[in-house]
């Protein structure tokens, strides 16, 4: 065991040096879409010092591009919402009229999205004016990256998740399903409170698609049940480790990271069943989610508190290691003041420069390989 400073994003030499320093080909997991693409594109170099699943050529790019994912679903007979790509601003109204309102707006390429400060992965627009506002703020006509997706009506009970791991033969070695009880932002954001529940239809659909694609590795997927035709429809495929992975734990205590580690290090994977009705909470974001659900759906404080108390695991708090939670709580408490300071015309530039200097300051532990 040891402590290692993470390399700069996209810095291949630093990542290779870190892997060689750790030694014994450590297991490498991507935790966002851009990192997943980075690993796929530099697989030949990284394979010399890291262990990770080898993907079929070009598959990571197709899964990360939201429109290409739609095409994959159509090719393999997987239900998915209708999508349209506007041919410029003047075509937006036609697309909205075809898909209806509200409508979902998605950034196709995560790399392009990261280069645009105001762009979001997913947004929901209630009317044409909202769509045009998002288009004007985030789209670049020379490098178009937005698409519109049909909104599937329903409640949080219609939201389903799949977390799993596929080995080198594309055999599913771990499969978990669950539901988003709350998310932030409401309707389009990340899970803030989730619960595990069995869904054989979602599991079989996922296995069919990913095995036919030859997919290998961790995967985090989102579905929505459409009451209009009785189908579960695939919304997103995150070809990487998802942020909700600790919601999904089997009766032996294994999550998909541990299953992948055992497989990639040639150790046996014990047979075990998924823990049902397990609840997992992301503390700070669920506070913001409560305010949204209270305002929009009338969620009562007492009911929210009961749901918070009943969880099996929290993203930040643990009795045996409270420091991460305390640090998160301090950041959460000071964020409103920070946002007001940044928005200030007089103090904003000074605050931003100070924060950049703090984050850029070399860590005293940067080169301290503390073996334990």
Instruction: Express each pLDDT in 189-209 by its tens digit.
Output: 899 999 999 999 999 999 999
> For residue 41, how many C-alpha atoms fall within 13 Å in the half-sphere facing its CB?
13
Sheet holding 146-150, edge to edge: 83-84, 146-150, 103-107, 122-125
Are the CB atoms for 3 and 370 separated by under 8 Å?
yes
Percent of the chain whose predicted confidence (pLDDT) is above 70: 89
User: What is the sign of the dihedral through the CA atoms of 287, 114, 60 and 158?
Assistant: positive
Q: What pLDDT is recorded for position 354?
A: 63
Residues 279-327 pLDDT 10s:
999 998 999 999 999 999 999 999 999 999 999 999 999 889 988 888 8
Sheet holding 279-281, edge to edge: 231-238, 217-226, 159-166, 172-184, 190-196, 279-281, 313-314
Long-range pairs of 125-133 with CB within 8 A, sequence gap ≥ 24: 125/101, 126/101, 126/102, 127/101, 128/92, 128/93, 128/96, 128/101, 131/92, 131/96, 131/103, 131/105, 132/89, 132/92
Is the per-residue pLDDT at 2 higher than 80? no
Report H helices in the chain: 12-22, 33-41, 43-46, 59-64, 66-76, 92-99, 110-114, 128-138, 200-213, 256-264, 283-297, 301-309, 323-343, 348-360
| Phi, psi of 344, deg, nearest 5 | -70, 135
**pLDDT-based confidence at residue 128 (cuts at 50, 70, 90):** very high
Q: What is the largest CA-CA distance in the chain?
A: 62
| Distance in angstroms between the alpha carbons of the first and the last residue of the chain | 5
Q: Which residues contact 169 (CB under 8 A, 6 or more apart)?
A: none
- In 3D space, the residue among 258, 265, 315, 248 whose CA is nearest the CA of residue 287 turns out to be 315
Q: How do the domains of the chain map onto residue ranges?
A: 12-52, 82-150, 323-360
For domain 82-150, give the fold. Dna Ligase; domain 1 (3.30.1490)
Among the ranges given (121-125, 148-152, 326-330, 359-363), the one the predictor scored with the smallest mean pLDDT = 359-363
Is the per-residue pLDDT at 9 higher than 70? no
Distance (Å) of CA 298 to CA 278, 287, 293, 294? 25, 15, 6, 4
Kindly give the pairing relationship between strand 146-150 and strand 83-84. antiparallel
Is the per-residue pLDDT at 13 higher than 80? yes
Q: What is the mean pLDDT of residues 155-161?
A: 94
């Amino acid at each position: 065991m040891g402590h290692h400073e993470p390399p700069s994003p996209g810095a291949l030499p630093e990542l290779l040096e870190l892997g060689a320093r750790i030694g014994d080909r450590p297991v490498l997991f991507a935790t966002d879409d851009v990192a997943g693409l980075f690993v796929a594109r530099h697989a030949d170099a990284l394979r010399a010092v890291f262990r990770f699943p080898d993907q079929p050529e070009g598959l990571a790019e197709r899964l990360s591009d939201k429109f290409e994912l739609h095409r994959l679903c159509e090719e393999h007979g997987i239900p998915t919402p209708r999508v349209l790509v506007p041919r410029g601003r003047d075509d937006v109204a036609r697309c909205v009229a075809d898909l209806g309102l509200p409508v979902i707006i998605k950034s196709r390429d995560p790399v392009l999205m990261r280069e645009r400060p105001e762009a979001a992965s997913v947004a929901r627009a209630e009317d044409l004016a909202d769509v045009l506002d998002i288009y004007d703020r985030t789209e670049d006509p020379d490098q178009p990256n937005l698409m519109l997706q049909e909104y599937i009506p329903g409640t949080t009970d219609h939201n389903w998740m799949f977390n799993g791991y596929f080995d080198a033969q594309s055999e599913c070695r771990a499969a978990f399903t669950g539901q988003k009880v709350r998310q932030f932002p409401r309707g389009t954001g990340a899970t803030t409170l989730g619960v595990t529940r069995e869904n054989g239809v979602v599991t079989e659909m996922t296995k069919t698609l990913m095995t036919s694609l030859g997919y290998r590795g961790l995967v985090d997927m989102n579905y929505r049940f459409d009451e209009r035709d009785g189908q579960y429809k695939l919304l997103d495929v995150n070809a990487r480790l998802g942020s909700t992975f600790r919601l999904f734990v089997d009766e032996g205590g294994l999550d998909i990271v541990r299953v992948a580690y055992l497989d990639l290090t040639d150790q046996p994977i014990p047979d075990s069943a998924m823990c049902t009705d397990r609840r997992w909470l992301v503390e700070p974001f669920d506070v913001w989610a409560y305010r949204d659900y209270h305002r929009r759906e009338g969620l009562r404080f007492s009911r929210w508190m009961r749901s918070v108390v009943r969880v099996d695991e929290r993203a930040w708090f643990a009795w045996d290691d409270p420091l991460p939670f305390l640090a998160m709580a301090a950041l959460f408490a000071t964020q409103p003041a920070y946002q007001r300071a940044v928005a200030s015309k007089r103090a904003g530039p000074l605050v931003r420069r100070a924060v950049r200097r703090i984050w850029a300051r070399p860590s005293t532990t940067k080169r301290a390989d503390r073996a334990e």
